[in-house]
Amino acid sequence: MGDCILPGLINSFGDLLCEGEYHLHSRFRSAVNFLSGDSLASVVTHCVGPGPMNIVVDGAAVVESLTICRDSILLNGISFPRSAEMRYDSRVNISKVLDTEQLRINIAVASNCLLESSSPRSLVFLLDGARDVGSESSFEREFVRRTRMGAALLFGGNAKTGTLALRGLGFGLTPSGDDFLSGVLTAYVTVARHPGIDFDEESEIIYRNGRGRNPMSNALLRCAKDGFLPEKYKTAVEAVVNHDKSSIGRPIRTLLEVGETSGADFAVGLVLGLKNVIGSKGHQKWLYAAA
Q: Please tell me the predicted confidence (pLDDT) of residue 87.
A: 97
Share of the chain above pLDDT 90, in %: 70
Predicted confidence (pLDDT) at residue 174 exceeds the cutoff of 80: yes
- Report how far apart the first and last C-alpha atoms of the chain are (Å, whole number): 37
Q: Please tell me the predicted confidence (pLDDT) of residue 134.
A: 60
Higher pLDDT, 49 or 245: 49
- Dist. CA 221–CA 198, nearest whole Å: 19
Compute the average pLDDT of residues 89-111.
89
When mean pLDDT is compared over 130-134, 183-187, 281-285, the highest value belongs to: 183-187
The secondary structure element, H or E, covering residue 262 is helix 262-279
- Dist. CA 237–CA 243, nearest whole Å: 10
Q: Please tell me the predicted confidence (pLDDT) of residue 283.
A: 32
With contact defined as beta carbons under 8 Å apart, do 217 and 248 qualify? no
pLDDT in tens, 51-85: 999 999 986 558 899 999 999 999 999 899 999 99
Predicted confidence (pLDDT) at residue 243 exceeds the cutoff of 60: yes
197 band by pLDDT with thresholds 50, 70 and 90: confident
- Dist. CA 198–CA 171, nearest whole Å: 33
Mean of the per-residue pLDDT values of the chain: 88
Q: Please tell me the predicted confidence (pLDDT) of residue 61.
A: 58
Higher pLDDT, 134 or 153: 153
When mean pLDDT is compared over 43-47, 250-254, 285-289, the highest value belongs to: 250-254
Q: Please tell me the predicted confidence (pLDDT) of residue 278.
A: 84
Q: Worst-scoring range by mean pLDDT, 103-117, 192-206, 256-270?
A: 192-206
> Would you call 268 helix, strand, or coil by DSSP?
helix
Predicted confidence (pLDDT) at residue 152 exceeds the cutoff of 70: yes
Predicted confidence (pLDDT) at residue 191 exceeds the cutoff of 90: no
